[in-house]
Amino acid sequence: MVNRNLIRSLEDDDILGDLALLAPEDEAEEWLLDAIAAEQQDYNSGKIVDGRIVELNDEWALVDVGFKSEGTVGLDEWGPEEDQPKIGDTVKVLIEEMEDELGAADDPYGMISLSKRKAEKIIEWEAMMETVAEGQVVTGTVIRKIKGGLLVDIGVNVFLPGSQVDIRRPGDIGDFIGRVVQAEVLKIDDTRRNIVISRRSLIERQREEDRAYLMQELEVGQIRKGIVKNIADFGAFVDLGGIDGLLHITDMAWERIGHPTEMLSIDQEIEVKVLHIDREKQKIALGLKQKDRNPWENIETKYPVESVHPGEVVNVMSYGAFVKLEPGIEGLVHISEMSWTKRVNHPSELVNIGDKIDVMILGVDPEGQQLSLGMKQTLKNPWDEVLERYPEGKDVKGKVRNLTNYGAFIELEEGIDGLLHVSDMSWTRKIAHPSEVLEKGQEIECRILSVDEQRRRIALGLKQLDNDPWDGDIPDKYQPGQLVKGEVTKITNFGVFIGLEDGLEGLLHISELAEHKVEDPEEVVKVGDPIEVKVLRVDTDERKIGLSLKRVGWSEEQEKTAAAAEAAESGMPTPMDEGDLKGGLGSAGPLIPTSDSE
């Protein structure tokens, strides 16, 4: 169908006149429409065409793209670095949208939508596609940070994902803005006009090549430059140019450091020494301190045993303090070597980090690089005068510092203790635990029994302040055959202990409880019962008294008969103890004298 209105709108009589000479009117109009249609095919949406600026104002430029088709382009599509548009200039534009395929009869100009900027980007993209392929290395400038990564200008804007910026993702990828980077083209999406690049893959490929070359030429003992790439509590990883080596914290300095950050920082360039190479696992051990002289060389000459030197406390542990004598040379003062007399529960009671102190060299281990130091050895040992101040036999006063199962420690002066053994607390009482006699903090008087200067021990006695009652008082007071009163204090399977006075006890053997055989002593007596018994024997050597309940009412004749029977049954005297202290016999014959034994 012929669009007659369109033909008439041309208002060009010359064109129609020329066509009339060649063909009838209807055919001439058909020819003209065919020509117009052919011309319009080049101006479809998405095409880039040359246009001419025909009009300008403050906001846009009117561009004629041919055959009386015009559109506007905003002036903001000309960058500040470009020459500003002028009427008559030719510019490439993208046809974004046609107003109407053939236009309206009353609108001869039919405005269309144009874009100069998009046309330029498409031209740049097409030009780039002629030179770029996947796997190719490109160079560009990072222009800004976007979601998920960076935008890089390589002639067109391409996407560099954050995970592909470096081998280890940086803390802030925005630091790369403005930097020129090289990267490998990972993917090209021609439909979306999108390119994804990777700087990481390029670095990894380069590092593989560098690593292979470096492992061939690397040797133990070499001094190499490297860049600190990562820092951990145990050390730092140093990039030697394609492969990382571990610089352990113990190989950073001859002196003690708390953390690698005290010496190193990320991206710092340092020189290190190659200590060990594991070519199979591609692991390298590096050292920093090994570049300098080992201060432990000739250590025995510089710090001989028993020499005294000034030092500084650099660390305090529960077991002692570390003292630095010079950079790289430290020794341990064990807690036991801090004071001659003071009981040190923790070294911080005497020293703190930073204190300047004098120490004595007690031992040197060059191979283990260890020094054993002492603080107390620089002071006078008070135990050197203990024998003079605390001779044997001297009565002294002290305070009960501690109680144990076997005795009590008595503080005579600060740092000087004596042991009062439980067996030296009473002549007569059988004491199971010191708490029966003493309490912590109590002031007491006791006697020096012995002094072991070498082992630093003083033995004390409490009972020794009084005379031994077994030497006269007890044998005089308790005679065989005598009736005495007491109280049941303890019952055992072999007999009963009877309290007589002031802790003095005698043994009433199970055989002396009754005339009949007793299986259980508690059938006869109970603890706390008052009781009257007969003294059978007093043994001053064993410090024991033998008692009898069944013989309380015996006559002298009964005693003689029992003594004779026991002597015949025994056959020979036997020593007396708690289990053998039976009524009539002992090493001295019958317990109770008879007319025959006298």
Check whether residue 308 and residue 364 sit in a common domain. yes
Does residue 567 sit within a domain?
Answer: no
| Predicted pLDDT at 303 | 92
Of the residues 346, 374, 402, which one is the last residue of a structural domain?
Answer: 374
Residues facing 564 on adjacent strands: none
Burial of 452 (0-12, 13-18, 19+ CB in 10 A): exposed
Give the number of domains in the chain: 6
263: in domain: yes
Q: Choose the final residue of a domain: 435, 461, 487.
A: 461
The answer to whether residue 310 sits within a structural domain is yes
* Structural domain boundaries, residue 79: 47-100+110-123
Is residue 273 in some structural domain?
A: yes
| 367 and 318 belong to one structural domain | yes
Q: From the CB of residue 88, how many other CB atoms can be counted at a distance below 10 Å?
A: 8
- Give yes or no: residues 500 and 544 share one domain: yes
Q: Is residue 209 situated within a structural domain?
A: no
| Shared domain check, 503 and 548 | yes
Do 266 and 300 share a structural domain?
no
User: For 122-220, where are the E strands, in sequence order?
Assistant: 137-146, 149-153, 157-161, 180-189, 194-198
Classify residue 25: in a domain, yes or no. no
Task: Write down the pTM of the prediction.
Answer: 0.40
Instruction: Decide: 370 and 331 in contact? Cβ < 8 Å.
Output: yes
**The pLDDT value given to residue 324:** 92
**Co-location of 199 and 252 in the same domain:** no
pLDDT tens string 254-308: 877 889 998 899 989 999 999 998 888 888 999 988 888 888 888 888 999 999 9
- The residue ranges of the chain whose pLDDT is under 50 are 1-11, 19, 37-41, 101-109, 572-598
Q: Per the domain annotation, does 502 fall within a domain?
A: yes
**Average pLDDT for the chain:** 79
Task: Single out the residue in 323, 350, 374 at which a domain terminates.
Answer: 374
Query: Looking at residue 228, what is its pLDDT?
Result: 92
451 and 424 both lie in a single domain: yes
Same domain, 118 and 55: yes
Distance CA 494, CA 480 (A): 21
Residue 7: the pLDDT is 46
CA–CA gap between residue 65 and residue 54 (Å, rounded): 10
Clarify whether residues 453 and 481 are in a common domain. no
Handedness of CA 167, 168, 169, 175 (dihedral sign): negative
Instruction: Give the list of residues 6+ apart from residue 82 with CB closer than 8 angstroms, or none.
Output: none
Q: For residues 400 and 403, give the distance between their C-alpha atoms in angstroms, rounded to a whole number.
A: 8
How much is the pLDDT for 13? 52
Statement to judge: residues 255 and 193 lie in one domain: no
Which two tokens mark 432? 């199971």
Query: Which three-class secondary structure state does DSSP give residue 76?
Result: helix
Are residues 326 and 257 part of one domain?
A: no
The CATH number covering residue 222 comes to: 2.40.50.140
H, E, C per residue of 532-569? EEEEEEEECCCCEEEEECCCCCCCHHHHHHHHHHHHHH
Task: Give a yes or no: residue 39 inside a domain.
Answer: no
Q: Looking at the structure, do residues 300 and 283 belong to the same domain, yes or no?
A: no
